[in-house]
Structure 1
């Protein structure tokens, strides 16, 4: 079974054909650093990129990077088998991102290759389990979401590829992103229904500062907040400057954490009193709200927040 990494606030793509970018990526701090063999690599560089990425994965994982992944080429491209055969030789590989997943058979193929390749390796080889993330990029993939999400136990999340989706449906991307509302809602809902831990939203194509101080553009923050409201818990990034914004917005903020701790502390006392529902700050708290608060605390801990200190600060919180 795949290890279930539930913290992919930022998924940063690194071109697999650039040794300079691969070296620089070791100093970055994205939750999921993804070496790309697909869109950012020209056809004549595919073979070299495989070798460069393989060498990059073979190096120890830097402490500030939670996860390293490889985006292979699509199954339909005919290049996926060569990509998998190369990168699966690294004992450090944990995650594979599969583009253009149109049907369950795409993930079944990848799973079969993984199973066969790992079976061929020496049994004493110590390696982490493999996780899969699937890119949803077409109308066909959207209509096949139920089959896709149930196709393999290795699947951990869905990623929305807006530009390819817009190409497939002849859509024009607008700043409001309303043309993607149905697709994004369907993806977030399908991932939740299948109990997949990661739902990763579209790329923000704006990365150069529009404020004159070098800070990320406002559009990135707006897109992250919009994605979070729709049920996504992470964002694809194409530039290192986008990572911090994604990490901040898709992680619990300070005010939200305080609320969650107050709810959990008071709910424990309410349960001891036999109360299934109670109020806090004039608002009703019942089981679903308490569960949400516990989830926020868990995410805070995963993000490195000292939740224990917050609990001690609010240990006197009582249910109203």
Structure 2
């Protein structure tokens, strides 16, 4: 069976009720395109959107998209079962995004539906289903530990800032300091549960401030801020945001170069029986070496030619 995707620098929402947007999405490049059946779909279009999204994922995956997901309606809405019954018929579906996950029971319900539905289908080799859970309320925040342990299919957490602000009756400000506790708690809980994806809040700005097509400064700063807090991806509401998210949550060229130098030198230090050594005047020990290997692994997943980089720095020695 194919391995699950663990690279979600950008998660781009596409309205599931718009055939035009669904068609356009096939020409995009993004780590994860999420066809939306929830917020972007009006109530009278919910049923029709299921069929449109089902047909979209029945088509072969476009070359520029690593993962195609579907955001269903929340379990509390009463629409989740209908959404799942429809989209799970497609053998191409790999990922389900679940909104308003307030407790472990929401994930248990979705997991049970997936297990039952797939058991009724002819045996076939397909990619395992992955779940991504949206954290949107005070209740979900207090239940993070149980949520993270609720399903073996869970692959990540997503922070929904606007709904969280509504629930707590707070106002979003440019500094985002009002979300610091929630974002830190989400990133920490995901890491503790060894979930590969932590996807940060939506940036509502996407139009160029200068009229030259350059990305808004606030988008870049939000991505950097999210990365500093431990997130490894960002929700996007417009294709123009994807490139910025991919760049900032992807491997920085200088950081990747440093990491490869550390990996090469650490291999030589280990052969010499040295547990700690220095590079550029700074101590390198086991945690730093592990971090460097993780950076190199991510860079390779993002398409960086790490073999060429290794060849370039093959003579690096531990100081």
Structure 1-normalised TM-score? 0.99
| Counterpart position of 1:127 | 126
Q: Are 1:20 and 2:20 counterparts?
A: yes
Q: Are 1:207 and 2:206 counterparts?
A: yes
After the TM superposition, which residues 112-261 of structure 1 pair with which residues of structure 2 at under 5 Å, given as runs?
112-123=112-123, 125-261=124-260
1:148: Cα distance to partner? 0.2
CA distance in 1, matches of 2:3, 2:94: 9
Contact residue 2 and residue 154 of structure 1 kept, 8 A: no
Q: Is the deviation greater in 211-220 or in 157-166?
A: 211-220
1:5: Cα distance to partner? 1.9
CA distance in 2, matches of 1:10, 1:288: 27
1:204: Cα distance to partner? 0.3
Contact residue 58 and residue 92 of structure 2 kept, 8 A: yes
Contact residue 3 and residue 131 of structure 1 kept, 8 A: no
Paired residue total? 319
1:126: Cα distance to partner? 3.1
Aligned-residue RMSD, C-alpha: 0.9
CA distance in 2, matches of 1:270, 1:120: 55
SS in 2 for 1:156: strand
CA distance in 2, matches of 1:97, 1:113: 14
1:15: Cα distance to partner? 0.1
CA distance in 2, matches of 1:79, 1:177: 32
Offset from partner CA, 1:74-120 (integer Å, 9 cap, x none): 00000000000000000000000000000000000000000000000
Contact residue 188 and residue 199 of structure 1 kept, 8 A: yes
| Counterpart position of 1:33 | 33
1:212: Cα distance to partner? 1.6
| Counterpart position of 1:45 | 45
1:2: Cα distance to partner? 9.1
CA distance in 2, matches of 1:4, 1:66: 10
Contact residue 4 and residue 128 of structure 2 kept, 8 A: no
Contact residue 202 and residue 235 of structure 1 kept, 8 A: yes
Offset from partner CA, 1:39-98 (integer Å, 9 cap, x none): 000000000000000000000001111000000000000000000000000000000000
Contact residue 4 and residue 127 of structure 2 kept, 8 A: no
| Counterpart position of 2:94 | 94
CA distance in 2, matches of 1:92, 1:127: 8
CA distance in 1, matches of 2:280, 2:272: 19
Contact residue 95 and residue 130 of structure 1 kept, 8 A: yes
1:3: Cα distance to partner? 4.0
CA distance in 1, matches of 2:141, 2:5: 24
SS in 1 for 2:102: coil
Offset from partner CA, 1:257-289 (integer Å, 9 cap, x none): 110011001001100110000000110000000
Offset from partner CA, 1:215-256 (integer Å, 9 cap, x none): 220100000000000000000000000000000000111100
1:195: Cα distance to partner? 0.2
Which 4+ runs in 1 deviate beyond 4 A? none
Contact residue 5 and residue 197 of structure 1 kept, 8 A: no
In structure 2, do the counterparts of structure 1 residues 2 and 199 end up closer, same or farther at CA, with 3 Å as the change threshold? farther
SS in 2 for 1:69: strand
1:211: Cα distance to partner? 1.6
| Counterpart position of 2:74 | 74
SS in 1 for 2:155: strand
Contact residue 12 and residue 237 of structure 1 kept, 8 A: yes
1:137: Cα distance to partner? 0.1
CA distance in 2, matches of 1:218, 1:290: 33
CA distance in 1, matches of 2:114, 2:4: 17
